Every structure is written in structure tokens, then in C-alpha cells.
Structure 1
Amino acid sequence: MGFKSKIKRFFELEEEAVELNQYEGEQYEEDFEEIEEYPKVKKKNNVVSLQSIQKNVKVILVEPRVYSEVQDIADQLKNHRAVVMNLQRVPRDQAKRIVDFLSGTVYAIGGDIQKLGDNAFLCSPNNVDVTGNISELFQED
């Protein structure tokens, strides 16, 4: 085989490859057109409105009389509800145990506990933001 025939042969193979690629490209376009004919699937919308979440925030007012009621209060906090607690009707030693228990609960859920008055506390979960400090007013009186 001479040099000229090798070059001819090389270019013939190249032309066949180009023709083959063109055919495959047409085949892909036909396949794509067939796919477009299928009905389009609706995508799920995973977006949650923050306004709807804020509307569901509740504040629970409680006035426990015995230490055993503290678990119900902790359950309210676990359910993302803020709790305002009045401890006037509980003996001082039990009130201290209730505050200690709820302090641990609030810490575990990433919330906050604040003293509102002599016997009143606000326990809030992590989805409730509390700003300001009113304890200074009580110190002035």
C-alpha cells in the first residue's frame, strides 16, 4: 500500500466517522422529541411560609399548685409554646424545684427563662424571641 492510498484511506474513515456522528446526532434529537411528548410531572413545592409558622406561636399561662405539674409545663415547652408561670400558690421550696426543672428543660431545647416578677417567670422555646429586660424596674421600687 502506497502513501497516497493510506492518506485516501485515512480520509475515507474520517468521512465515515463524521457521517456516523451526524446520524447519531439526528437519532438523539428524535429521541429527545419523543421524550417531550410525555406529560410533564408536577414538582413538589418544599417552600414553607415563615408567616404561617409565626402565627402558630402560643403563650400558655400556668399557675401550678404542686411540683408534679411541672412535667405538663415542660411538655408545653417541648411543643414550642411559651409559658408564663405564676408561682404564688406554691410553697417556696417547691417553687425553687419547679424553676430548676424548667431551667434544665429550657436549656435542653435551646430556649430561655426570664424572671418577670417576684413569683412570675417566662419560659420560652427557641422559636420565640424575647427582647428587653424588666428586672431593672423591680430593683428601683
Structure 2
Amino acid sequence: MKEIIYKIRSYSESVEVLDQLQAGYRIILDIENVERTEAQRVIDFLCGGIYIIKGQIQQINSFTYLCLPVGDINIDDDQ
């Protein structure tokens, strides 16, 4: 499975992240450079889109998320 690392700088870039998830890529998302309120909009948008495509999202740390497309390995709290 291919992975892409995104360092998001604005909400408008979140559509591209979702497009890549739909194409089957794993996404490592870094939102450190996004204003807090805009970062929350990005995560809310992605959570909704990931739900629709039956993918998964897991917070790695305060600014990093792992987004998985449908059919990828389940995220487990023990990992």
C-alpha cells in the first residue's frame, strides 16, 4: 500500500487528501501549520468523508493523524 505525507496549510487542501484516500492511499496528515480553528474544520471534513468511504482515521499525536482507506488494516488502540 502506498503512503502519502501531507503537511496541510489550509482547509482547501483537505479535499485533495480525501481524493487520495478514495484512490487507495494511506495518508499521514500533519496539521501543525494550520490555525487551530481551521485545523478543526479540516479534521471534521476528513472524518465525514472518511466515514462515507468507510475508511478510518486515528490521531497519532497533537498534530498528526493516520488516515486509512477502506479495506486497509484496522486501527487498534494497542498498536
Do Structure 1 and Structure 2 share a fold, with TM-score over 0.5?
A: yes
2:14 match: secondary structure = helix
Q: Alpha carbon RMSD of aligned pairs, Å? A: 1.6
**Residue 71 of structure 2, aligned match among 120, 127, 132:** 127
Deviating runs (4+, > 6 A) in structure 1?
Answer: none
Q: Is the strand fraction higher in 1 or 2? A: 2
Q: Percent identity?
A: 32
Contact 2:53 2:70 in 1 (8 A): yes
> Can you give the 5+ residue segments of structure 2 that lack an aligned partner in the other structure?
none
What is residue 63 of structure 1 aligned with on the other side? 7
- Structure 2 match to 1:39: none
Q: 2: distance between equivalents of 1:93 and 1:85?
A: 16
Alignment partners' CA distance in 1, 2:62 and 2:8: 15
**Superimposed CA distance per residue, residues 83-117 of structure 1 (whole angstroms, 9 cap, x where no aligned partner):** 11011000000100000000011101111110000
Counterparts of 1:65 and 1:97, CA distance in 2: 12
Distance 1:132 1:118 in 2: 18
- Relative to its length, the structure with more helix (as a share) is 1
User: How many angstroms does 1:128 deviate by?
Assistant: 1.2
- Which one has more relative contact order, counting CA pairs under 8 Å at least 6 apart? 2
Deviation per CA, 1:10-57: give whole Å up to 9, x if none. Answer: xxxxxxxxxxxxxxxxxxxxxxxxxxxxxxxxxxxxxxxxxxxxxxx1
Q: Which has the larger radius of gyration?
A: 1
Q: Which residue of 1 aligns with 2:59?
A: 115
Amino acid at match of 1:79: A
Structure 2 counterpart of 1:104: 48
**TM-score (ref. length: structure 1):** 0.53
TM-score (norm 2): 0.91
CA distance in 2, matches of 1:58, 1:130: 16
